[in-house]
Amino acid sequence: MNRKAVLVVGSMLIAGFAGSAAHAHQWGCWSQADRNIAIRNASGGSQASAAISDWNSMTILNFTNVSSGEEIYVFNANSGATGWGGLARITSYSGCTIRRATAQVNTYYFSGTSLSARGVHCQEIGHGFGLDHSNDGGCMGGGYWYSISNAYRPVSHNVTDVGNMYANKHDDDHGHPTVGPEAGAPRFHANWFHNPRTLGQATRLASHVVVATANFATDGDPISIGEEGTIPSQRVHFTVKNSRKGGLGAGDTFVLFQNGNDENRFDEDPSYKMGHRYLLFLTEREDGTYMVVSPQGRYHITRDGLVPAVHRDSKSFAADLAGASLNDVLFDVDRALEMPEIFIEK
């Protein structure tokens, strides 16, 4: 397995800790029916074709290129300033079995002809047959633990994960829809364009760092995803209680752009709880709304400490802040603002 070393400098809150992967990484219980997968490259171009070829040649999966009736649909589309450069979406499923998924590169952030686009396609296609992110040097960790432009192919760990998932898998429930444990779970998995690896990086990337209360949510304009139509969005209205960076002050209000809605939730980006407080690392959009830099930029404030949006087993700095005191984290944010040399670029 290819492991990427992580240097920890200073306090854990500032430096963060990525850790390493030593076990299989599956997205919930999602998987395709079996190893034979019909795939359609609609508009992803040569980089998508290269990613498809990699998965087909390196794993036990058997991809068949089709012009219709696909189980994974691959394409490029400009979806604008959504925060994500790539998106995997499950559009049809039976229990935990994926019947159709899509894999998109958002060309607002990535040129469709770049190696980054190949890496994003590699990752989103991987989600389409049930892989989660993994810190192993391959495309499934690109954009999270290292640059996607330098990790645009699967690696041996991914090959092993696929083998473990599909070696003895048969389509024994085709045509018999069942309600499975994933029926109400997130069916969108994004490659976030900004994915800070330390609290210092999150502070630097954010134009505003605030503690704010969620007041109410409204429907936003649908997000275009090209030939696949649109997906919903929400606007969450907040009041600032405390500001550490940027022009928003106590008592000011702002509107947060959020991908999806309560019925179409993105993985690691759950709905906000109205009346509750959050620590938010924000960037401003052209329309005057704000969005978090990524799921690493939002924390629910509770009596038991911070609750990160990211999964506890992701081994990211944000997951390591679970249960941390708000005051302690704000102290480290202040340190990051006062001493920018503590930023760790990796």
CA atoms within 13 A on the CB side of 293: 27
CATH number at residue 173: 3.40.390.10
- Helix (H) / strand (E) containing 49: helix 45-58
Domain span holding position 158:
21-192
CATH number at residue 234: 2.40.50.120
> Same domain, yes or no, for 206 and 258?
yes
> Same domain, yes or no, for 205 and 174?
no
Three-state SS at 3: coil
Q: Phi first, then psi: what are they for 95, rounded to 5°?
A: 60, -125
Q: Which of 34, 73, 37 is nearest to 174 (CA)?
A: 34
> Same domain, yes or no, for 231 and 171?
no
> Same domain, yes or no, for 187 and 207?
no
pLDDT means over runs of 10, the chain (346 residues): 25 38 71 96 96 97 96 97 96 92 97 95 97 93 90 94 88 48 75 93 96 98 96 98 96 97 92 98 96 97 96 85 97 90 53
Q: How far apart are CA 330 and CA 338, in angstroms?
A: 12
* Residue 185: predicted pLDDT: 72
Structure tokens at 299: 């924390």
Q: Tell whether pTM > 0.85.
A: yes
> Same domain, yes or no, for 311 and 292?
yes
Q: How far apart are CA 291 and CA 181, in angstroms?
A: 30
Mark which of 192, 219, 240 sits at the end of a domain.
192
Q: Determine, yes or no, domain membership for 300.
A: yes
Q: Determine, yes or no, domain membership for 11.
A: no
Q: How far is CA 317 from the centre of its chain?
A: 15
Q: How far apart are CA 238 and CA 248, in angstroms?
A: 11
Q: Determine, yes or no, domain membership for 100.
A: yes
Q: How far apart are CA 175 and CA 167, in angstroms?
A: 22
* Residue 64: predicted pLDDT: 96
Q: Which of 21, 120, 83, 122 is nearest to 295 (CA)?
A: 83
> Same domain, yes or no, for 116 and 144?
yes
